[in-house]
Amino acid sequence: MLKKSLKELSSFSAGDDTILKEVLHPKNDGINMGFSLAYAQLEPATSSLPHILHQSSETYIIQEGQGIAFIDGKEVPMKIGDTLYIPAGAEQYIKNTGDGMLSFWCVVMPPWSEEEEEVL
């Protein structure tokens, strides 16, 4: 068993310019699981940088705010409660279009690794 509190995790600026909290990662937590889990945030009127996960799919689950995800050039409006699956190899980024913070969960499968992410 492993329990963590989001409030107690440190934030850092990720390679794609999101504010990130790494919640679960098998490499860092010594657990056997097929995905990694992070909590991402973007300030109003900001975007993550376009990037590609070459080996992993990513799923966004919007918890707070609203935005537009750009997946291989297609615009996908996102709001609280929306879930978006992004296949491996897709160019992706997300823009906060609201007045408040855009907060979302990121599930990466297989787990995220720096070697497979290309920030454009």
Find out whether 65 and 36 touch, Cβ atoms under 8 Å.
no
Domain membership flag for residue 119: no
Task: Give the pLDDT confidence of 63-98 residue by residue, as tens digits.
Answer: 999 999 999 999 999 999 999 999 999 999 999 999
Domain membership flag for residue 19: yes
Q: What is the CATH number of the domain that holds 41?
A: 2.60.120.10
Domain that holds residue 88: 11-100
DSSP 48-106: PPPEEESS-EEEEEEEESEEEEEETTEEEEEETT-EEEE-TT-EEEEEE-SSS-EEEEE
pLDDT of residue 75: 98
Overall number of domains in the chain = 1
pLDDT of residue 37: 98
- The DSSP symbol for 27 reads H
Say which residues have a Cβ less than 8 Å from residue 35's Cβ, sequence separation at least 6: 107, 108, 109, 110, 111
